[in-house]
Amino acid sequence: MAAMADIRNIVILTGAGVSAESGIDTFRGGGGLWEKHRVEDVATPEAFARDPDLVLRFYDMRRAAIQEKEPNRAHAALARLDAEWPGDLLIVTQNVDDLHERAGARRVLHMHGTHLNAWCTACDARSRWTGPLIDRPPCPACGARALRPDVVWFGEMPYEMERIYGALQAADLFVSIGTSGAVYPAAGFVREARELGTQTLELNLERSQGSAWFDETRLGPAGELVPAWVDEMLG
């Protein structure tokens, strides 16, 4: 890593690995969600059109489960960095849980949406939602029974891409934590960063698919690697 004095603006990309030690399943690999549920059945707009009950039940189950989980040491360390880092910082999370926020982080962007919002396909309103959707409750804004989970499925455009690319342009350091690098466009951020001359660091249990693009890779559980890295950054 270059001297800390050279680093002012940081973009941090987080994935399912950052929440794994809180007991939330990752997607890929042994025991991952996609071993138990086919992506094509639950995480595409076509699946929702074909069998909405199956998709709503899948998300109702996960929405209920995440509310029982607690942030871990990695979330806490990132919240501390967010609170104390004097330069620009953006935590771009692919995770649809709210554990970064519950740990106290404020500068968080959910590029794949959030479990705790329902999105009305009739009026486009987003409402905070903690209960089930399977019984087709009415939209709080317009009353239509047309709510879906406010998450980004395959084939849909992730949220706030302009803001993310703006932050990447301005970043001196790009850090990727606990993501497999299997899903675009997030998987491409490291290449964008490299092409811009930004330093890149990967913290992960195992090397991601884009590992070769990182200047440095540190392997281990996020609950250990992230607090140690944050200590380094904050001196």
Q: For residue 100, how many C-alpha atoms fall within 13 Å in the half-sphere facing its CB? A: 27
| Of positions 48, 112, 119, 233, contacts ligand BJW by CB under 6 A | 112
Name the residue type at position 124: D
Residue number, 104 or 221, with CB nearest to ligand BJW: 221
Q: Which residue has the tokens 């019984």?
A: 135
Tokens of 145: 């029974």
β-pair type (147-151, 173-177)? unpaired
CA distance 136 to 154: 23
Query: Contacts with ligand BJW in 176-195 (CB under 6 A)?
Result: 178-180, 182-185
Q: Does 117 bind ligand BJW (CB under 6 A)?
A: no
| Of positions 168, 173, 204, 233, contacts ligand BJW by CB under 6 A | 204
Per-residue contact flags (x/-) with ligand BJW for residues 25 to 64, judged by CB under 6 A: -xxx---x----------x---------------------
**152 CA to centre of own chain:** 11
Q: Does 152 bind ligand BJW (CB under 6 A)?
A: yes
- For the packed helices 222-234 and 73-84, what is the interaxial angle rounded to 10 degrees? 20
List active site positions: 112
Binding site for ligand BJW (CB under 6 A): 15-17, 20-21, 26-28, 32, 43, 94, 96, 112, 151-158, 178-180, 182-185, 204-206, 208, 221-222
